[in-house]
Structure 1
Amino acid sequence: MEWTSVDLADCPVIRALDVVGQRWTLVVLREVYNDVGRFEDLQRHLGISPSVLSRRLAEMVDAGLLEREEYREEGRRPRHAYRATAKAWDLYPVVVGLMQWGDRHLRDGDRPAVALVDRRTGRRVVAAVVTDDVPACDPAEIDAVVTAA
């Protein structure tokens, strides 16, 4: 079978982009991966309007990427935080790859880069295409470190 005979309706890239291809989706995941999950913190850190963020978070919950958790600080009304699901964590290598590609090809030399470091070994983590027998790093053991420009 030739590649050009594959029907676009069967393309997993197109199906994936239907879920994660909207503006803010991967950026929200980046924040949640880095333990920024409270609505107010997401809104403040991203500089996104509350209505756009609310809509995107609801879509991500509906798509099974995020779980919504209620919390209440003493004396305040209930609020929500968001946590990545296993489905979202499966996208982690994609987000890492985009981040590293952006640092390599689009970063202004005056801006800091972000390095990912395996907490156990201190070695840098990179996104790569490897054979299926190469063990993956545990995202829970990876720290994001801002490096000098």
Structure 2
Amino acid sequence: MSTRIIALTLLGLVMGFIILMASVSFFVREPLPIVGANQTLLLHTVELTPQIRTSVAIDGGYRVDLTVEHSEAQDPQVVLRPVGGQAIMLDTGTDSSGAWSGSGQMTRPGRWELILTNGTEREIMPFIVRE
């Protein structure tokens, strides 16, 4: 009898652990993308139309290079900042295809926001920079 109680208790603990791990996907709906040194993160707008595609490339010294591909009718304003902080200065320009590009020095790892504004429309794209 005591062997059955021990076996049922262990079964209950194991099943509880499995259910707990499976339920994590219900709590984390849309995890933030994570980018580190020497990696590139591709983001695209959902709320702005037509869609704007961006590339965030970070080198080993945490210098960031942004490329923003947009239609000719759009003139997006781009701001890159840590969450709750001041925007970093970006050296900006356009390439031969008309895509906007900018580069600057990231100040710290953690949560960052890429803010695109086109006229009265605005979209904030959060991501995480890891060490």
Q: TM-score, normalised by structure 2?
A: 0.28
- Using CA pairs below 8 Å that are at least 6 residues apart, which structure has the higher relative contact order? 2
Higher helix share: 1
Larger radius of gyration: 2
TM value normalised by structure 1: 0.26
